[in-house]
Amino acid sequence: MTPDRKGAVAVEGDAENRISALPRNVIHDILKLVPVHDAARTSSLSKNWRYIWAMLPSLVLDNHFCNKLALKSQSVLKETLDEILLQHLEDIVKFVLDISGTDLTSYADIDRWMRFVTRNNVKELILGMPDPSTYKLPSHVFNCPTLTNLKLFNCIVKPPNSFLGFLNLTTLRLEKITFVPTIKFCVINAPLLVSLDVTYCTGTQYLNIVVSSGLKHLSVSESHCNLDLNRFTTCKKLAHLSLVVASPISADERSTYEKLIFSLPTLQKLF
């Protein structure tokens, strides 16, 4: 090895040692800024880094990451995700799984991953499925008491009969979701909800969202005005309101819009 190369190795080693000496939460913040496959590679640096990767509180398995694996095969995608979760040692505070660009058809695998993260105190859960999708959200997501942020794309939602609500949820985004009523209505009780986004979902006529007066952001985009907007007239702290309907609205629907808009004393932005 040439002297120059020895010097380069020494500099790299010093840099690694300096980073390793940083507080654990700072290292986690650094790893959040890089793609998950690069963060995973740090586990090969040393034994300490292997544990740092296994304790990372945020796992973002985005569309690019999942597509790259799926191009090899569905089994590679499944085995890699299994390995990432099985290696994890502590709570998963944020979990993003976007397989919207893949052809993954094994819903049992997705159920298993959802079960794992909901048992590990997940607070922020984002799930993106291919469009169209017949994936039914499993009951353990509804029964997860730690959830504060939930975003779902292209799923079927049918809460279990025992569902008491998302009691700690503050942010809920539902896009291209199909709601299936239990008995008569699909009831979602979210007393702490601050932000609600419902975008081009079906079956919203069966959806009963119970929110508190603390809701500040409401966005509804539908092909037809099926969601009952009257329930939001009690949300006196609503500051941002977006209502989009693709079809012409009737006189009754216009009256409902006007009643909602003029019942909001703190409204700042209206679209």
Q: Which of 13-27, 152-166, 176-190, 245-259 has the highest mean pLDDT?
A: 152-166
**What integer is the mean pLDDT of 192-220?**
92
Q: Transcribe 152-219 into DSSP letters.
A: EES-EE---TT----TT--EEEEESPEE--BTTBEEEEETT--EEEEES-B-GGGEEEEE-TT--EEE
> Tokens representing 195?
């932000």
Q: Tell me, what's the pLDDT at 266?
A: 93
Environment class of residue 186 by beta-carbon count within 10 Å: exposed (0-12), middle (13-18) or buried (19+)?
buried
As a whole number, mean pLDDT of residues 184-202 equals 91
* CB neighbour list of residue 256: distance below 8 Å, 6 or more residues apart: 225, 229, 230
163 versus 88: which is more confidently predicted? 163
Nearest Cα neighbor of 217 from 202, 207, 232 is: 232
Q: ω into residue 3 within 30 of 0, thus cis?
A: no
pTM for the full model?
0.82
Are the C-beta atoms of 135 and 110 separated by less than 8 Å? yes
For residue 212, name the pLDDT band (cuts at 50, 70, 90). confident
pLDDT band per the 50, 70, 90 thresholds, residue 89: confident
Does residue 224 carry a pLDDT above 60?
A: yes
Tokens standing for residue 58: 């945020």
Q: What is the pLDDT of residue 40?
A: 53
Within 10 angstroms of residue 235's Cβ, the number of other Cβ atoms is 23
**Cα–Cα distance, 238 to 215 (Å, whole number):** 6
